[in-house]
Structure 1
Amino acid sequence: MKLGLAIALMSATLLAGTAYAAEKRWDGADDLPVNPLACSAGEASAAPAAKPYDGGQPTNAPDKAGKPISLVDVPKLIGIGYFNATTKGMQDAAKALGNVAAKTDGPTEAKIDEQIKFIDNYITSGVDGILFAANDPVAIAPVLKKALSKGIHVVGYDANSTPNAREWFVNQAEFNGIAKAMIDSMANEAGEDKSFAIVTSTFTTPNQARWIAEMWAYAQKCHPKLKWLETVEAQEDNNLSFNQATTLINKYGDKLSGLFGMTSVATPASAEAVTKAKLCGKVAVVGLATPNAMKPYVNADCVKSVVLWNPVDLGYAATYVMRAVVDGKLKPGATSVEAGKLGKLNVVNGSEILLGAPFIFTKQNIKDFDF
């Protein structure tokens, strides 16, 4: 987290995070205020305060309400199952809307410098809207602000930027909801007093940093005997994720009882490392991943819980949000937006559109999903 943003949020952190200030946050977490959910359904949770709209606005955007528009989607990287699924959702939405042309283009590695180049090129070539999933929330901001200054609409999904660099962000699930699902699953599978490690992409990737921060807060509140060992970076790379998980297994031996995978690449790679080490049933793997990538490990009883949402729906929602923005149907101060077959989606946290609650794939239901 950059110093300026941290200072700006210091007072909010003191108010929202006082109970969690005594112990250092796990590596890979950010320093924003946290709002851990209740430990059980019978407890009351503190609701976050409503926030005014905090997104940016384009300069002199042309009036294309109801007219055909061209969109480009620049995700963290292309060629992996997760973003293939979000792309499918965007194409489904474009077809349903009938007046949207959308394409996905981006780097083949999750590198922010490359992502910025792709966005800059599309600003030059000309599009009506840019969809993005950020590799770094701060580093991507200048090029997104450049797009806004050129009258191009900007909507994020999956991984946010600083709010004023885009108009809206489609959040797949609230960060504290994912944190609760992840930590509860680990405590249930590994044990309340066991030790775990985390395989993430980078310490600056915005969604994973938020999840880890909320996991830290929720664990302290609801599972205080769980022990964090280490967080390692794996760059959304399958081989590196496998190697990092294997290194953690070898480094900590019997002390390691669980691995969290924070990406759709890290989770199956961690499961493969546990399988190769013949530790299924001894080292729990809990993480975020697409069901198709996890079916072999779930069906082999090496993984019991996969936490996610439907990325096809996420891409679909992002496209509908962009269309609503262009049409003037989604403006600052709105409380909801219509998203086709998904129905009405709510606005939260000022300028975020919430897709819904996280979903847990298990051996009983994973066969029903194909993405």
Structure 2
Amino acid sequence: MLKKTLLLAACFGLVSGAALAQSTWTGGDELPTNPLACDGTPGAVVSKDYDGGVPTNAPDRAGKKITVVDIPKLIGVGYFAATTKGIQEAATELGNVDAKTDGPTKANIDEQITFIDNYITSGVDGILFAANDPVAIAPVLKKALAAGINVVGYDANATPDARQWFVNQAEFNGIAKSLIDSMAKEAGEDASFAIVTSTFTTPNQARWIAEMAAYAAKCHPNMKWLETVEAQEDNVLSFNQASTLINKYGDQLKGIFGMTSVATPAAAEAVTQANQCGKIAIVGLATPNAMKPYVEKDCVKSVVLWNPVDLGYAAMQVLRATADGTLKPGATSVKAGKLGELKVVNGSEILLGSPFVFDKSNIGQFDF
């Protein structure tokens, strides 16, 4: 672990004794990374065999009405309200799906597991999920598969064998490139930055952070990584963590990344209240509605995301295709209603598309 910490610190130019003393690598996973080209050349899609799970003795659901429960990381936040909207739109369009969203009010993996377990017991045909922890959630999802339930993830993955398919909002290295390039453009090639994330075990955020580290080391080697802090997808904690970073690092801090739709607006508010707009760049993942006030005031220049309504819509279409048997292991694409054909990548992932950058010129065109 020490070797890894020193290596990553060196990649970000944190070579002085003082810098190393205050810089600990946290937040990223240890999976292999695949940083994109610095000049924007598209990366090659890796071809691999299907690695998802298989339900046991699943009944014939082709064309029949099915009951689906969506259990995201948490409910009551704008991002998952948007994915729920997409799920409901797809269910209405399909006409043979009864779908509802339920789940914890905090991003707590133990509570999420309890919700899933309860729905396995009560009986559903399909489960949609966005995992708080990819490993911890796996046993209960495997229990669902063993009960013949179709299981599809979106937003945040589980271990592949614990679900059939995962709808990936954008490839991790593409999001990493968009975030790092935006920060370099706004704060400078030698900017020192920190990250506010949810938890160090949240799979999509850990993957993005690992890819950000690899891409920055390759294409923006003089950027300096100060710290990554957890905020549990809680608005007050996210604000407090961002405020602490501002006070802790002072003029050294040139940018903050928000890795959640809660952390990014909270960090923007912390920068606003600290009178640091224009001095500390905020770059992150968030819904446009949450960021419009900060973008319109020029405190935030860019927001990276995808359309979460489309993400929920795609997840529901994928689950319906899975239940119908029209999406099978080995497929290279899947029909997803109004979204058209979506590609299958990495064995058992469905790719929604490329990340989108919202800024002052276009953010007003979106309402979610």
> How far did residue 26 of structure 1 move?
3.5
CA distance in 1, matches of 2:306, 2:281: 21
1:168-317 pair list within 5 angstroms: 168-317=165-314
1:31 corresponding residue in structure 2:
30
CA contact (8 A) 2:9 2:25 kept: no
**CA offsets per residue over residues 174-205 of structure 1, 9 Å max, x none?**
00000000000000000001100000000000
> Which amino acid is the alignment partner of residue 30 of structure 1?
D
> Which amino acid is the alignment partner of residue 271 of structure 1?
A
1:125 corresponding residue in structure 2:
122
CA distance in 1, matches of 2:174, 2:286: 16
CA contact (8 A) 1:345 1:353 kept: yes
CA distance in 2, matches of 1:165, 1:194: 40
CA contact (8 A) 2:46 2:345 kept: no
1:53-132 pair list within 5 angstroms: 53-132=50-129
2:18 corresponding residue in structure 1:
none
How many correspondences in the alignment? 352
**CA offsets per residue over residues 208-251 of structure 1, 9 Å max, x none?**
00000000000000000000000000000000000000000000
CA distance in 2, matches of 1:369, 1:247: 32
CA contact (8 A) 2:271 2:277 kept: yes
Greater than 3 Å deviation, 4+ residue runs: 19-26
Structure 2 stretches of 5 or more lacking a match? 2-6, 13-23
2:335 corresponding residue in structure 1:
338
Query: Secondary structure of the equivalent of 1:57?
Result: coil
CA distance in 2, matches of 1:21, 1:237: 28
Between stretches 25-34 and 72-81, larger displacement belongs to 25-34
**CA offsets per residue over residues 68-90 of structure 1, 9 Å max, x none?**
00000000000000000000000
1:40 corresponding residue in structure 2:
39
Query: Secondary structure of the equivalent of 1:239?
Result: helix
> How does the TM-score come out when normalised to structure 2?
0.94
Structure 1 stretches of 5 or more lacking a match? 2-18
> Which amino acid is the alignment partner of residue 71 of structure 1?
V
Question: Alignment RMSD, CA only?
Answer: 1.5
CA distance in 2, matches of 1:333, 1:47: 18
Between stretches 126-135 and 46-55, larger displacement belongs to 46-55
CA contact (8 A) 1:176 1:215 kept: yes
CA distance in 2, matches of 1:46, 1:269: 33
> Which amino acid is the alignment partner of residue 28 of structure 2?
A
CA contact (8 A) 1:26 1:212 kept: no
> How far did residue 49 of structure 1 move?
3.1
**Structure 2 CA distance for partners of 1:195 and 1:82, relative to 1, 3 Å:** same
CA contact (8 A) 1:71 1:127 kept: yes
CA distance in 1, matches of 2:139, 2:11: 34
CA distance in 2, matches of 1:273, 1:45: 36
> How far did residue 50 of structure 1 move?
1.0
**Structure 2 CA distance for partners of 1:149 and 1:22, relative to 1, 3 Å:** farther
Query: Secondary structure of the equivalent of 2:36?
Result: coil
> How far did residue 157 of structure 1 move?
0.2
Query: Secondary structure of the equivalent of 2:244?
Result: helix
> How far did residue 45 of structure 1 move?
5.7
Q: What's the % identity of the aligned pairs?
A: 78
Query: Secondary structure of the equivalent of 1:287?
Result: strand
CA distance in 2, matches of 1:134, 1:323: 20
> Which amino acid is the alignment partner of residue 313 of structure 1?
D
> Which amino acid is the alignment partner of residue 36 of structure 2?
L
**Structure 2 CA distance for partners of 1:151 and 1:359, relative to 1, 3 Å:** same
CA distance in 1, matches of 2:132, 2:72: 8
